[in-house]
A and B are shown apart, each in its own frame.
Chain A
Amino acid sequence: MLDVDKIREDFPILKRKINGHPLIYFDNAATSQKPKQVINAAVDFYEQHNANIHRAVYTLSREASELYEKAHEEVASFINAKGMEETIFVRGTTEAINLVAYTWGLRKLRKEDEVLATLMEHHSNIVPWENLSKIRGFRVKYARIQEDGTLDYPSLEDMISKKTKLVCVSHVSNVTGVVNDIKKIAKLAHEFDALVLVDGAQSVPHMPVDVKGLDVDFFAFSGHKMLAPTGIGVLYGKRELLEAMEPFHGGGEMIREVSYDHSRDRCSISWNELPWKFEAGTPNSCGGIGLMEAVRYLKNIGMGNVANHEKALTDYAMGRLKECEKITVLGPKNPKEKCGIIPFNIEGMSSHDVALLLDSYGIMLRSGFHCAQPLHQLLGLKSSARASFYIYNTKAEIDRLIMVLQEIEQV
């Protein structure tokens, strides 16, 4: 059980009032709020340890380097990667997926190949592949979705073939909260010698994730959705794959040696070891250290407890939303098939109307396509409002949401 009152004490922003009402933050699928432990870690880094990492021999630089390396180790342990060499720090999920597209994909994918995604993907797991397909000529195919928003597994099985070189799939849909069976998908992909890239932006913050157990090849997630600062995220990759890949960006830090060959008038370059080979330039050290603190915070609570808490909130909210006459809850009706994300619409209102009305009462939630337009098209939706929960949300906040929604129904 989570001590939610104690947790809420750690989040200064939750003491705010918005438009005269206590803030209720239900847009956690977009980004999470930050506990004072993470905020203090960032302040402490800049006040006590700030220096460029891996560049200098003096004390501050060594301290900063050690903290940044420790952050990699702790994040690797959090997702059960083999070690920090499999844990590349990037800006976020989007950059992680683009890294795979423009390193592995650019060199490996040929005209006759196929990339198999699903129609529930966030744009960040569609656009890089469509863009790259214009350069490399391969085809992007999309596994279908059922009416309730769950993945149509037989369609995925029908579409996969020896032409498939990569399967790209979300662990959890950012619109419906549907949890995909990644282990099953990875097993299927590997039977066809395809790799698997998982968008874990909506899973790592909310449930225990074991990349080794899932047997995925690449796994991407963002720090800012799991209490860490913005601008830091992670690409997990199996070591042998990462070692075989060329770097993404070129510059300092990612090289071992750049030597000028006078006879050829050229520079020859060798790469640094993992993970630094993929972390060109001065990194977001403060973000990485913030992410480490966020991971410590979540580990201290226990990811199983986080998942159970959100499950209880989802069950409760799904039940209470049935009391609202004009509201249609989208996605699966069975809470067991999903995480703490609830999309809905109110008859006769656009989702933005709903979000603005709720904003007047201090309730923050998202409206629109949520960067998943194909899924909305497929479900026949013009847009949707979305409530998404996290560790600091309470049943009392859901009661308040329902009360305001019932008022809104009368507008």
Chain B
Amino acid sequence: MSVVDNYVARIDEACGEEKDLIVIFKYDKKDEAIKKILEKAKKEKTVSAMIFELTFRNASFRVYATGKAIFRKLKGKEELRSLLTELLS
């Protein structure tokens, strides 16, 4: 199982011109996944320890303590998986 499949339940391409990519982490792995991401990504802003505005490489994204994340302006799922592989390794 790849590192992404180990932590991620699903990736949705949201409708709308923005083409945001929504990541839903596996419920029982979400805390571990968020911890790993917070260790590697640069924290731009934190709201009530619930919402984390982050950057990594050239990507900006937001991670929610509820186990979801939204990645903006990526080329597609392949680029997202590549970023997640680095973040979750």
Contacts and interface: CB of A to CB of B under 8 A. Distances in A.
Nearest to B17: A382
B26 interface: no
B47 interface: yes
Interface string B41-71: 0000101001101000000001011101010
Interface of A: 19, 350-353, 356-357, 359-360, 367-369, 373, 376, 382-383, 407, 410-411
Interface string B24-41: 000000000000000000
Given A360-B66, A383-B15, A383-B16, 12 more contacts: A350-B16, A350-B72, A352-B14, A352-B18, A352-B22, A356-B68, A367-B16, A368-B15, A369-B15, A373-B15, A376-B17, A383-B14
Contacts of A356: 22, 62, 64, 68, 70
Interface of B: 14-18, 20, 22, 45, 47, 50-51, 53, 62, 64-66, 68, 70, 72
Contacts of A353: 20, 62, 70
Contacts, number: 57
Nearest to A19: B66
A357 B51 contact: yes
A19 B15 CA distance: 24
Contacts of B53: 411
B18 A383 contact: yes
B68 A350 contact: no
Contacts of A382: 16-18
Of A352, A376, A383, most B-chain CB atoms within 10 Å: A352
Interface centre among B18, B22, B47 (most CB of A within 10 A): B18
Given A357-B51, A360-B50, A411-B45, A367 B65 contact: no
Contacts of B68: 356, 359
A359 B17 contact: no
A411 B22 CA distance: 19
A356 B51 CA distance: 10
A360 B47 CA distance: 11
9 contacts: A19-B66, A350-B18, A351-B16, A356-B22, A368-B15, A376-B16, A383-B14, A383-B15, A383-B16
